[in-house]
Chain A
Amino acid sequence: MYSLNKRIGGNRALPPKPILAAKRRRQLHPFFFSMGPVALCISSVLLIGLMAILYLTQLGQAVTANQRLQDYQAQQAKLRRQNQDLVYVISQEQSPGYIASAAKSLGLVPTDPKTLHVLMVKNLELIREIEPQIKP
């Protein structure tokens, strides 16, 4: 049978094949138990896939949370803006000028100081405090 040794014509003694060493090398112990290369490849791929799924799931959740957070922030900004507008409207309608014009439109007229009559009651004493025993 044709072999490389014959072809190059060497009669040198070949070293013994390291069958046991190779076998030992192929018997890997990544998880504290022996595993062949094919099994290792498959489990590595599965592991990486699992990690990728976990990562993508988390990423998806993060993106969703991010979107939800943005929505909340937008809603908060909108509500804050509405609140500011309402505060403005309330303060505008509480202003004396607005009340005066509203009263005027309803036909009310301001008190004319010239029509004021102050009645002077002589010797009138202020009632400071009603005595407890005569309180109803």
Chain B
Amino acid sequence: MSVELRRARNRQMLIFLLVCVGMVVLMGRLYYWQIVRGDSLAQAAANEHIQNQILNAPRGVIYDANGHILATNVVRDDVYIEPIQFSADHGPDIFQSALEKLVSTLHRILPSVSEETLYKDFNLELQTVRIASRIDPAQSEQLRSLQLPDIFLEPRTWRIYPAGSLAAQVLGYVQQDDQKSVGVYGIERQYDQLLAGRPGSFTAEFDLSGNPLVVGASAEQPAIAGADLTLTLDSTLQYLAQTALADAVKQLDAVSGTAVVVNVRTGAIVVMAGAPTFDPNNYGKSATLTGCLGQESVFFNPAIYCAYEPGSTMKAVTMAAALDQGLITPDTTFNDPGYRAFNDAPVVVNWNGLGYGIESMTQVLEHSANVGAAYVAHDILGPDRYYPYLAKFGFGQATGINSQEETGFYRTPANSPTVWTPSDLTRQAFGQSIEATPLQMAMAYAAIANGGVMMRPYVVAVCNNNGHMVTTQPEVLRRVISERAAMLLTGMLRHSATDGFAQPAQVPGYTIAAKTGTATTQGLSSDQTEASVAGFIPATNPMFVILVKIDRPQKTIYGGTAAAPLWKYIGQQLMWYYHVPPDAV
């Protein structure tokens, strides 16, 4: 073999070896990238292009009985800046001037964001900083048209209440943060799961601008919109009652107040108002406000959360129990010297200390005589025949309108065997030593007005869950008293309105059946009252029960003077609004 040929072969061998080494190195690198790092790199690449977006489900709309919107959703933008990107885009020589220009422009469009805050935010070492939330559509449009560098808008859906504070305590509000929205208080809380719907997801490849490549492979699970609710409330009447209640509370220098209107035939709540109230669009401003005599947050609905001693409005219930059992008639008489001593209970006196001599049961209601009511409960009924009626009228039990409502309480020999005394019985007869919510009291009167039949109260009339409609049907809960007893009691309550303390509640042209109540609280002076009126209109063909309660009025303290004028106003508006023909002929 010649030297030349050997050299050539050696060169070939060297090249071959070099190529082999190169191949081995390449194979090693290939193994490293494809096998060792393969999965993580594939994942990183997929993450770069494939994104999973959460599709938020629109929250259900809440309507009133006439289809007016009480709660809906709007999209508003949040404004973000990119401080790190801004620094990278602008060199040190132009950074300050560019920043000054941008801050000045931003402050001009968003005056609520101070220039100091903007300078501070732009100097943060963060990828993104939110500088404004929920800006106006006009501001969004301005920012969009300017196309400012390193600024972007992020749309977010917000719950909004077009009527402001109207029925706020019934509706509640929605607490929103970056992650989720949760209904708090009222209907928003009770029906949160239904209203919220179910979010969906969208997985697809995205381009550099963050837009989905919908032509490529993608997977979408659509969001399911929340259910729409239609309430039984009437916006117009709610507004009239709510504003009149707020005015009354202010005029009487009272602490708080409640008004409830119930459709007697169906149990539908037409009005449920409280004062003070709040604006669910700006609930944060009312966080320190309290309602219900300062005992509860203003966000609670006082009609179902604020139990009180109903006072003399309870006398109608005592009479109902005795009438239903045939133990008294409206004309049954007894001697009322203004006080009555019981062998097992303390003396009961009339609220004004007056004695009325021989008086009928109708007159007991007219005079609002504590002695008469205590006599009926203690001497005629007794605990065995009285307490079953309190239970049948729904006292001490949830009405079912809300899962967390106040139930109220009263002592009986059964539930408080060691502490119950006959004194409880005599006092419960005229509304002391018993706590009931305004709604419970209204429903008790609704049962009397409805011929002795108690309906289940409800505030949601229709639930439309993406086309699946569920309509609440009026539901009879039970017969509480006989039709005859109800009729007799209605007559007695009509006398209470025409000849008794409920006279100021009379509505011209209409008959009413009503009873006043002026409850005092043990430990407080007797001028610190809870003035109320409960009754129904028109008395000849009852349509609506109205309950008005004013807490601690200072200008005048009685049910007949503090609450009755408001009762009259609401009754009158109801009759006009529903074009009810006058029946007082």
Give A contacts to B, CB under 8 Å.
Answer: 62-63, 65-66, 69-70, 77, 80-81, 84-85, 87-88, 91-92, 94-98, 100, 113, 116-118, 120, 122, 126
Q: Shortest Cβ distance from A128 into chain B, in angstroms?
A: 13
Known: A118-B509, A118-B582. A95 touches B162 (CB 8 A): yes
Q: Shortest Cβ distance from B540 into chain A, in angstroms?
A: 15
A-B pairs, 7 with minimum CB distance:
A96-B239, A118-B509, A91-B69, A95-B163, A91-B162, A92-B162, A62-B215
Give the residues in chain B near A77, CB-CB below 8 Å.
Answer: 155
**Can you list 27 A-B pairs with a CB-CB distance of less than 8 A?**
A63-B215, A65-B215, A66-B215, A69-B214, A69-B215, A77-B155, A81-B74, A84-B72, A84-B73, A84-B74, A84-B75, A85-B74, A87-B69, A88-B72, A91-B69, A91-B162, A91-B163, A92-B163, A94-B162, A95-B164, A95-B166, A96-B236, A113-B568, A113-B572, A117-B508, A120-B584, A120-B585
B160 within 8 A of A: yes
Give chain B interface residues in 558-585, CB to chain A under 8 Å.
Answer: 568-569, 572, 581-582, 584-585
Give chain B interface residues in 280-310, CB to chain A under 8 Å.
Answer: none
Contact B68 A95 (CB under 8 A): yes
Known: A95-B162, A95-B164, A116-B508. A88 touches B68 (CB 8 A): no
Give the residues in chain B near A70, CB-CB below 8 Å.
Answer: 211-212, 214
Q: Interface majority SS on B: helix, strand, loop or mixed?
A: mixed
Contact A87 B240 (CB under 8 A): no
Known: A66-B213, A91-B68, A120-B585. A97 touches B74 (CB 8 A): no
A70 to B582, CA, bound (A): 63
B440 within 8 A of A: no
Give B contacts to A, CB under 8 Å.
Answer: 68-69, 72-75, 137, 155, 160, 162-164, 166, 211-215, 235-236, 238-240, 243, 508-509, 568-569, 572, 581-582, 584-585
Contact A97 B164 (CB under 8 A): yes
Give the residues in chain B near A126, CB-CB below 8 Å.
Answer: 581
**Can you name the residue of chain B whose Cβ is closest to the Cβ of A117?**
B508
Q: Shortest Cβ distance from A81 into chain B, in angstroms?
A: 5
Q: Shortest Cβ distance from A34 into chain B, in angstroms?
A: 39
Contact A81 B75 (CB under 8 A): yes
Give the residues in chain B near A84, CB-CB below 8 Å.
Answer: 72-75
A63 to B213, CA, bound (A): 8
Contact A96 B235 (CB under 8 A): yes
Q: Interface majority SS on A: helix, strand, loop or mixed?
A: helix
Known: A66-B215, A85-B137, A122-B585. A94 touches B68 (CB 8 A): yes
**Can you name the residue of chain A whose Cβ is closest to the Cβ of B68?**
A94
Give the residues in chain A near B509, CB-CB below 8 Å.
Answer: 118, 120
Q: Shortest Cβ distance from B273 into chain A, in angstroms?
A: 12
Contact B508 A118 (CB under 8 A): yes
Contact A88 B214 (CB under 8 A): no
A92 to B4, CA, bound (A): 100
A75 to B585, CA, bound (A): 63
Give the residues in chain B near A66, CB-CB below 8 Å.
Answer: 213-215
A6 to B146, CA, bound (A): 87
A66 to B552, CA, bound (A): 67
A113 to B137, CA, bound (A): 43
**Can you name the residue of chain A whose Cβ is closest to the Cβ of B66?**
A94
Q: Shortest Cβ distance from B426 into chain A, in angstroms?
A: 39
Give the residues in chain B near A96, CB-CB below 8 Å.
Answer: 163, 166, 235-236, 238-240
A85 to B211, CA, bound (A): 25
Give the residues in chain B near A122, CB-CB below 8 Å.
Answer: 585
A66 to B585, CA, bound (A): 75
A126 to B235, CA, bound (A): 31
Contact A95 B235 (CB under 8 A): yes
A95 to B279, CA, bound (A): 14
Q: Shortest Cβ distance from A42 into chain B, in angstroms?
A: 33
Known: A85-B74, A87-B72, A113-B572. A97 touches B163 (CB 8 A): yes
A50 to B585, CA, bound (A): 97
A96 to B238, CA, bound (A): 9
Contact A97 B508 (CB under 8 A): no
**Can you name the residue of chain B whose Cβ is closest to the Cβ of A96?**
B239
A92 to B165, CA, bound (A): 12
Q: Shortest Cβ distance from A100 into chain B, in angstroms?
A: 7
Give the residues in chain B near A116, CB-CB below 8 Å.
Answer: 508, 572
Q: Shortest Cβ distance from A80 into chain B, in angstroms?
A: 8
A77 to B75, CA, bound (A): 10
Q: Shortest Cβ distance from B157 into chain A, in angstroms?
A: 9
Contact B162 A88 (CB under 8 A): yes
A100 to B247, CA, bound (A): 15
Q: Shortest Cβ distance from B181 into chain A, in angstroms?
A: 16
Give the residues in chain B near A63, CB-CB below 8 Å.
Answer: 215
A87 to B163, CA, bound (A): 13
